Amino acid sequence: MFRWASLIPIVSSLGVASMLEINTLRDYCEGLLACAEFEDYCPNGLQLEGDRPVRLLVSGVTASLALIDAAITQGADAILVHHGLFWKGEPSCLVGMRGRRVRALMRSGLSLYAYHLPLDAHPELGNNRQLAHVLGIVDAGPARTRGLVWRGRLRCHMDAVELASEVARVLKRQPLCVAAHERPIESLAWSTGAAQGFIEEAAGLGVDAYLSGEISEQTTHQARELGLSYFAAGHHATERYGVRALGAHLAERFGIEHRFLDIDNPV
């Protein structure tokens, strides 16, 4: 079962979607996101080449079979995701779950584009920037090389309970909160997805809190000993916004149609 929590069509100003060549889209994204500057856990770019130009681009967080099936139902020509099909250290054979995903893509003629760290870090369209927009964080900017950790300020001081409540309201997911101190939270750092490992770096920035998508067993102890309140707001929930922003940008830039499909994921 999948849930379309968000369906956002963006069409050209003439009301008729243009055609975009597969490699033109690939080359543009590669330059826009500076993919060559990143050492990543996966291949960024065109992961599977389809058989037709792109008129309708569907975006989503992860190249799950649910997203692929939904894109096929929508009549898409290509899918744009943050989490693609291929990851370092995983078996490379196209069998089982991965085989089913690839078969579905190839039978439909869909292309698949995936951008991971380059999409986290982009200064305008990236996950970190877009999360700052939706949470209302001001003076937001990268605090680490290539923009994987950002810092900024809340519009008003909050305690940990109040900030957790605001994050839950905006992201529609209750974060796990480790309240490591009682002082008001004004400044914070964040990195979307599974970036709890950056907590010591965040503490070195002198902020009051750090927010990411996931939490590990040791993260609780680190937060308490560092005196840095920590919020695990959901891997999926924190990374919905970059791929949606990139898809909307491509629709506007090339006059194609774009739809973002939010496949429900509580993690």
List pLDDT tens digits, range 114-139.
Answer: 999 999 999 999 999 999 999 999 99
Give dist(CA 18, CA 55) in Å, integer.
6
Give dist(CA 237, CA 134) in Å, integer.
11
Local structure of residue 174 (DSSP, 8 states)? P
Q: What pLDDT sits at residue 18?
A: 87
Q: Is the pLDDT of residue 15 over 90?
A: no
CA angle, residues 237, 242, 103, in degrees to nearest 5: 85
Q: Is the pLDDT of residue 12 over 70?
A: no
* C-beta separation of 210 from 230 below 8 A: yes
Q: What pLDDT sits at residue 16?
A: 67
Q: What pLDDT sits at residue 176?
A: 98
Token code pair at residue 100? 């089913």
Q: What pLDDT sits at residue 203?
A: 97
Give dist(CA 4, CA 16) in Å, integer.
24
Q: Is the pLDDT of residue 67 over 90?
A: yes
Domain ranges of the chain: 22-121+239-260, 127-238
Whether 127-238 and 22-121+239-260 are alike in CATH topology: the answer is yes
Q: What pLDDT sits at residue 144?
A: 76
Q: Is the pLDDT of residue 14 over 80?
A: no
Q: What pLDDT sits at residue 5?
A: 44
Give dist(CA 224, CA 197) in Å, integer.
15
Q: Mean pLDDT in the chain?
A: 94
CATH class of domain segment(s) 22-121+239-260: alpha beta
Phi, psi of 169 (to 5 degrees): -65, -45
Matching residue, tokens 């065109």: 46
Q: What pLDDT sits at residue 17?
A: 76
Q: What pLDDT sits at residue 204?
A: 96
CB atoms within 10 A of CB 209: 25
Per-residue model confidence as pLDDT tens digits over 42-57: 999 999 999 999 999 9
* C-beta separation of 43 from 81 below 8 A: no
Q: Is the pLDDT of residue 1 over 50?
A: no
Q: Is the pLDDT of residue 160 over 60?
A: yes
Q: Is the pLDDT of residue 86 over 60?
A: yes
CATH class of domain segment(s) 127-238: alpha beta
CA angle, residues 128, 155, 140, in degrees to nearest 5: 30
Q: What pLDDT sits at residue 146?
A: 80
Give dist(CA 183, CA 170) in Å, integer.
23
Per-residue model confidence as pLDDT tens digits over 192-244: 999 999 999 999 999 999 999 999 999 999 999 999 999 999 999 999 999 99
Question: What region, left, alpha or beta, does residue 226 occupy, with left being phi > 0 and alpha being psi -120 to 50 degrees?
Answer: alpha
Give Dmax over CA atoms of the chain in angstroms. 58
For residues 134-153, average pLDDT? 94
Contacts of 127 (CB under 8 A, 6+ apart): 82, 119, 120, 192, 193, 238, 239, 241, 242
Q: What pLDDT sits at residue 232?
A: 98
Question: What region, left, alpha or beta, does residue 15 occupy, with left being phi > 0 and alpha being psi -120 to 50 degrees?
Answer: left
pTM to 2 decimal places? 0.93
